[in-house]
Amino acid sequence: MITGKRPSATLLILTLIMGVFHFLAGHASAQKTIYQHNYPKSGDSRISLTSPFDKGPTHGFQPVRVQIKNGSSKDRTWQLQFQNSGELYYSSTFEIKVKAGQEINQDILVPIRWLGQHSRYRQASIQIRASGFADLSASDYEQLPNNWPNIIISEKLAARNLTLLSNYLKELNNKGKKSSSRSSSSNIPFASSCDNKLLPSDWRAYLGYDALMIAADEWTQIQPAVQQAILEWNRFGGILQIYTEVRDKQLDYRALGFDRKPVLGNIIRVPHSYGTIELHGWDGKKVKLAQTHNTLKNANQNRTSYEHAYSNGWKLQQIFGYKKSNPLLVMLILTIFSILVGPVNLFVFAKAGQRHRLFFTTPLISIIAGLLVLGFILFEDGIGGEGRRMLVMDLESAASEKRAYITQEQISRMGVMLNDRFRLQDASFIAPVQLPHSRWSPRIPHSKPLHFSFKQDQLKGDWFQSRREQAQVIQSLQPTRSRIEMISPTTPTQAPKLFSSLEFTVDELFYVGDGGRVWKAKIPPSSSIPPGSEIILEPSTRSELGKWWNQLSEPLSAGRPNNKTSDHSFRRQTRGMSFRPGHFFSASHDPKIGFIETLDSVKWTNSDAMIFGPVIKRSSENQSSSDSQSSSDDQPANK
């Protein structure tokens, strides 16, 4: 009997050991160690670079936790330089000061170039310098999903489900049921695991990911600042999936916009600006593989929009117009130059017996010709440049948020540039986009890589180039006091009354009531709604609102042509914002709205803005602030 029990006890011990090992291994892989080094002969000085995600973003920013111990007796400054090579060359520099004997942890966001549709690999080089220490270098190479969304999965969900989900995805690819991603994602994990304790508190750290899966008890345990950052990223278009059990009592689902919790196996969704929040009912152990796969297979893959959305009939570029050059005048100057520097110079200016004059006449003719060409360029293109831009603002004015979510698309044409440096507003993201190939906008990739440099808050490089047409998309999150308030609701005999506490004028405005009825602001011709004024409404129709909103959004990027099944274009998403009950929709040309400024030498000839958001019920606090606002000077919208 004793001998019969020993194998069971041994098996139990081995099972426990394997279970502990599996847990530790899974936990260790939840974060990625990019680089670590102990400095020899310098006390216990060391540096380590860690990412909270085991797979990097497809674009945007790579969040990195920098841990430095200065074991020396002197204060030192570490300089970290990250470089992403390829057709787009990104270089970013960070400086971190550490006092003698001190150890610090600092989170940084490293700009990452976007990958094209057919790109799967990224290689980054890292240079580390510190006064008194030897220079260090390292590289970070990884394979990223191509035609499969870039997804983050939390520790608890990953422990039991990541391998199962990855095997399920691989099985589908091998069977040919997912032919569009078979060649690119068959060996790619379903999602990137993360370290919950290192989740960033900056929304930009999540830009390169399409969805985030997290258990409800994990969601309630992460810091409020991290929750806020994830919800901000979610508003820009991410998918947030929260898996909740029936017995879970900690999740405040009403704060997320839900009126109930899902039953086991069901999913309920609410729109969250451009994104979606989903509550999944589960048993706390395993997710439903097919259901999870189907909810995420068409998640927004933003990186492809930078390559295609602006290169196929972008309306803003058509409105801006195309550059027309005059090559005949240049050819005339060159022809005259060749005649002067050749036969005229040889037989008239420096004829036989006076050949020594060639040492003076040839340079003089060349200088004059060069000045004529330069003068022609200055006359045709000028100094600096001009451009056109379109801004879309999601104005979330609730007391718990008070944020303006801004997406700005812009195109510019530069003449002769004297400076390529500019600063970008805090909490912003900028990316170059591919325009249709022409003489003024070379295709990416081309013979010469484009260089983009980031140092602290200063940008320089090929963002703007002399005699080039270029375009960028910018996303920014700005605090604001602007809002549209409800003075009195709709009654059977009276239209609703609104009040503009915006900090800019509005040219047109529609309002969709809680019941779906559409109203339009009464605005006299050639007039607008100033800040601090009551908005008089009159009945309108859904068709009038839809036609007007679609016309406003026409200049926005439209994605690939003939791609209606998975069209994640910004224009289509913005059009989908209309008809939301309790929201206003407006247009403005007021520069005080808060356009994101870039290069100072660009003159923006036209700046259009679309603004939408929920109407806020007036409170006594809002009443007093509105009264004070109407008697104060106008202020910029983004404060």
The token duo for 52 is: 């909270």
Stretch among 108-112, 285-289, 538-542, 634-638 having the lowest mean pLDDT:
634-638
74, 91, 219: which is closest to 156 by C-alpha?
A: 219
**The pLDDT of residue 13 is above 90:** no
**How does pLDDT run across 487-507, given as a tens digit for each residue?**
988 777 788 999 999 999 999
**The pLDDT of residue 625 is above 60:** no
DSSP letter string, 435-486? PPPSSSSPPSS-SS-EEEEEETTEEEETTS-TT-EEEEEEEEEEE----EEE
pLDDT at 504: 95
Dihedral angle of Cα 376, 378, 381, 382, to the nearest 10 degrees: -160
Task: Kindly indicate the confidence band of residue 119, based on its pLDDT and cuts at 50, 70 and 90.
Answer: low
**The pLDDT of residue 392 is above 80:** yes
- Taking residues 6-24, report their average pLDDT: 44
CA 532 to chain centroid, in Å, comes to 33
The token duo for 91 is: 């270089």
Q: What is the pTM of this model?
A: 0.85
**How does pLDDT run across 412-440, given as a tens digit for each residue?**
998 888 889 999 988 899 999 988 877 77
Beta sheet of 211-215, edge-to-edge order = 192-193, 151-153, 211-215, 239-244, 275-281, 267-272
d(CA 165, CA 180): 18
Task: Kindly indicate the confidence band of residue 184, based on its pLDDT and cuts at 50, 70 and 90.
Answer: very low
Q: Side-chain half-sphere of 53: how many Cα atoms within 13 Å? A: 25
pLDDT at 204: 96
C-alpha distances out from residue 266 to 109, 111, 254, Å: 37, 38, 17
Give the position of tokens 């303006």: 404
**The pLDDT of residue 39 is above 80:** yes
Q: What is the CATH number of domain 32-143?
A: 2.60.40.10
Query: Comparing 237 with 457, which gets the higher pLDDT?
Result: 237
Check if the beta carbon of residue 413 is closer than 8 Å to that of residue 440: yes
Angle of the 155-175 helix axis to the 2-28 helix axis, nearest 10 = 90
Query: Comparing 74 with 307, which gets the higher pLDDT?
Result: 74
Q: How many helices (H) and strands (E) does the chain have?
A: 13, 29
d(CA 86, CA 82): 13
Amino acid occupying residue 627:
D
Check if the beta carbon of residue 232 is closer than 8 Å to that of residue 478: no
Q: What is the mean pLDDT of the chain?
A: 84
DSSP letter string, 118-176? T--EEEEEEEEEETTS--EEEEEEEE--SSS--EEE-HHHHHHHHHHHHHHHHHHHHHT
Look at residue 331 and give its three-state secondary structure.
Answer: helix
The token duo for 11 is: 């098996």
pLDDT at 131: 87
d(CA 249, CA 564): 41
pLDDT at 364: 83
pLDDT at 485: 96
d(CA 511, CA 72): 64
H or E stretch at 208: none
Check if the beta carbon of residue 144 is closer than 8 Å to that of residue 122: yes
**How does pLDDT run across 324-383, given as a tens digit for each residue?**
666 676 677 778 877 777 787 777 777 777 777 778 788 888 888 778 777 766 766 667
Task: Kindly indicate the confidence band of residue 538, based on its pLDDT and cuts at 50, 70 and 90.
Answer: very high
Check if the beta carbon of residue 529 is closer than 8 Å to that of residue 521: yes
d(CA 167, CA 289): 10
612, 562, 618: which is closest to 587 by C-alpha?
A: 612
**The pLDDT of residue 532 is above 90:** yes
> Kindly report the CA angle at 505 between 503 and 507, in degrees rounded to 5?
150
pLDDT at 294: 94
Stretch among 471-475, 571-575, 619-623 having the lowest mean pLDDT:
619-623
Stretch among 187-201, 222-236, 244-258, 345-359 having the lowest mean pLDDT:
345-359
Q: Side-chain half-sphere of 328: how many Cα atoms within 13 Å? A: 1
d(CA 639, CA 637): 6
* Cα radius of gyration (the chain): 30
**How does pLDDT run across 324-341, given as a tens digit for each residue?**
666 676 677 778 877 777
Check if the beta carbon of residue 378 is closer than 8 Å to that of residue 415: yes
612, 507, 555, 560: which is closest to 410 by C-alpha?
A: 555
